[in-house]
Chain A
Amino acid sequence: MLSTDDDILGQAEAWAKAGKGVAVATVVETWGSAPRPVGSHLVIDEDGSFLGSVSGGCVEGEVVTEALDVIGTGQAKLLEFGVADETAWRAGLSCGGRIAVYVEKVG
């Protein structure tokens, strides 16, 4: 089933209420052509389960890894992805755009 914002942020709340460590990743800025609009969410729990998206699937893996770190430290992070960035070689956006993703812990 296609998940909506309802499901995504609802899931984050449910995970947190079940006592899990949870992070919310949000697309806060985009430049050029970006696959998901500003305000899109990806939510991640401490086991690496996730729901939603911040790109067309290009950088989700990287965001999940960073989110696990955020859940551990409690320290929010602002991530940037794009072709101009050297991370492009690891996790770039095939469409050539750039995005900034804010990752914060719930709780």
Chain B
Amino acid sequence: MTCQAGRALHNTIIMQDASSPEQDAAAPAYDWSGLWGGMRAALSLPGLVMSCSFIGFGALINSLGFPLLAGAATVPLIWALPGQVLFVTMWHSGLALLLIAAAVSLTAVRLLPMVIGVLARVRLPGAPRWPEYLLSYFTAVTIWVLSVTHLDNVPKQQHLPWLVGLGATLMTAMCVVVPAGYYMADLLPPVLAACMVFFTPAFFLLSLIASAKWRFDWAAVAAGIVLLPLARWFAPDFDLMLAGVGGGTLAFLLFRPRRKGLIGKGQPHE
């Protein structure tokens, strides 16, 4: 109780006196006024690219004959476009639920290092941990990219709230964008509809290249690209597993970094 009161008082002090964040060192707390900045950033160019990807996703579920409501539900339930695309395409192919779950989960494994990378950058050690769980709910490729590129001018106590505001706004917006894409797919000329679908692979591949820092990152991108056609020819049902797990493992074994200092951009941890 006293602790909560103290924290509230502390927040008030930070709000009123944002110019001296150093005094925060004793009892770290997040400054939730950062929410607004993140919400505004959602309307920037990355938000636009994301919207196009999700319009493409809406067009994709339309072309598969997948029900709109279920397609839109993938936004708050999965919130990672590779997993969403996999779920609807594999469901469309009539594959066993267990196989779908395994494949979706495999693409979601990358969220683990992503969440760790984002949190290592924005969390305040010693502060309550529930905001970290909240942020992890919204964490996916776009949040990760923006946490690397957009936080330099945001005070440290506002980092996590800023990303939560960004993620919540994007998720809400995409729930509307998916139905828009679904209905636009019928109205658009086929070439334009195809272009919308193409936003997704283009954005994914370029994000991978943009976030690749290490030789094994590059090797993993190349291995995934080169091995997929081979794996498709070899075992069409397991092409993603073979190319992903096989290619990633190969890239890691061949190009494993000798020295340490990686995921938090070399940031000291704790």
Asked if A and B are interacting partners, one says no
